[in-house]
């Protein structure tokens, strides 16, 4: 008798929790403003979705640990936003630039008691993923990024393997930026005799990323998770924090990049100037090699950390 009553109470509690979550997991009407204007006012479990504002182009998802929000950009235009729940103390969600490594509509955690992870999109091989889940309004996961089920399902339908996901701890939005000097084939200040390793045959296709470490004075090029090149980089002056550049599109007018602050000190909201890249120089051979593989969706990460430390955002090195 006692066992039966206990099971009934547990069933009621589970149903109540499900109903409570479902009640707040809803899409918000955008008639009163844009995605950017609406995102800060979303309540836990709410999201917005407006893919029609940018029907085509490469996509970029930016997850903000400070605001517990995520914004999806297509061709540099925000087309969706959602509340999220990221890692709780002791299980923090890592910052950095990631790519989607694996997708499964039905998935269960292999680390945490086979917990359900619907519409799972894996970012690391050690337990960080995007998926639908409970959103209490604060960080509560074991490192994953939980989203409302409706948004997770919509996101799953438009993403592909290799899509870039940026996780930042600053409330910063992408800003229009000039073409980074390290991917320009124009003449640089570096010498062609500087150390250069280049073997693009190791990975012929897939998303391209460049990680620049100020501590190591080195750039590493990764395609589809495989290191295909590296070179010495000269840097004048100190580098603080971590930031990323993402190539949203290419056309007759040139390359169109955006810059995202990942950690350190938030900067202004205006366009990024070319002076930032005046401090970085690499050999002409390296710049020309990278310029040949530039494609929309390419990401460049600049960090003050060493590539040999766990703190550096080099998760793209995972295979």
Across the range 180-209, mean pLDDT stands at 73
User: What was the pLDDT predicted at 139?
Assistant: 94
What confidence tens digit (pLDDT) does each residue in 229-284 have? 999 999 888 888 778 888 877 888 888 888 877 766 655 555 566 678 888 889 99
Do residues 250 and 183 lie in contact, with contact meaning Cβ atoms separated by under 8 Å? no
What number is the average pLDDT over the span 45-74?
A: 86
Rounded average pLDDT over 58-80: 85
Assessment of whether the complete model's pTM goes beyond 0.75: no
Neighbour-count burial of 318, counting CB atoms closer than 10 A to its CB (0-12 exposed, 13-18 middle, 19+ buried): middle
Residue extent(s) of CATH 2.40.440.10 domains in the chain: 2-168
Per-residue pLDDT at 241 = 78
Question: Does the pLDDT of residue 9 top 60, yes or no?
Answer: no
| Residue 6, pLDDT above cutoff 80 | no
Matching CATH number, 2-168, of 3.40.640.10, 3.40.30.10, 2.40.440.10, 3.20.20.150: 2.40.440.10
Structure tokens at 5: 């009553």
Q: Which residues of 178-205 are buried (b: 16+ CB within 10 A; e: fewer)?
A: bbbbbbbeeebebeeebebeeeeeebee
The CATH code belonging to domain 175-317 is 2.40.440
Mean pLDDT value across residues 222-235: 86
* Segment 104-119, tens digit of pLDDT: 998 877 666 667 889 9
């Amino acid at each position: 008798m006692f066992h039966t009553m206990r099971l009934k109470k547990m069933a009621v509690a589970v149903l109540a929790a499900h109903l409570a979550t479902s009640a707040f997991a809803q899409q918000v009407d955008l008639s009163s403003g844009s995605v950017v204007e609406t995102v800060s006012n979303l309540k836990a479990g709410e999201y917005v979705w407006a893919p029609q504002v940018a029907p085509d182009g490469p996509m970029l998802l930016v997850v903000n640990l400070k605001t517990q929000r995520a914004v999806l950009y297509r061709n540099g235009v925000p087309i969706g936003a959602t509340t999220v729940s990221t890692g709780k103390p002791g299980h923090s969600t890592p910052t950095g630039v990631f790519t989607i490594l694996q997708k499964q509509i039905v998935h269960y955690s292999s680390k945490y008691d086979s917990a359900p992870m619907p519409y799972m999109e894996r970012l690391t091989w050690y337990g960080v993923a995007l998926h639908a889940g409970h959103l209490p309004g604060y960080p509560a996961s074991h490192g994953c990024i939980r989203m409302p089920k409706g948004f997770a399902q919509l996101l799953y339908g438009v993403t592909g393997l290799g899509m870039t996901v940026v996780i930042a701890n600053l409330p910063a939005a992408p800003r229009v930026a000039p073409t980074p000097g390290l991917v320009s084939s124009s003449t640089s200040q570096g010498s062609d005799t500087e150390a250069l390793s280049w073997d693009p045959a190791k990975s012929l296709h897939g998303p391209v990323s460049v990680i620049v470490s100020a501590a190591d004075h080195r750039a590493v090029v990764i395609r589809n998770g495989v290191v295909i090149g590296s070179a010495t980089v000269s840097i004048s002056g100190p580098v603080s924090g971590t930031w990323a550049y993402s190539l949203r599109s290419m056309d007759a007018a040139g390359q169109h990049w955006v810059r995202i602050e990942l950690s350190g000190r938030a900067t202004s909201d205006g366009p990024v100037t070319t002076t930032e890249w005046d401090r970085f120089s690499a050999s002409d051979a390296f710049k020309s090699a990278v310029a040949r593989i530039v494609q929309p969706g390419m990401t460049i990460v600049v960090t003050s950390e060493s590539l040999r430390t766990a703190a550096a955002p080099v998760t793209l090195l995972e295979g």
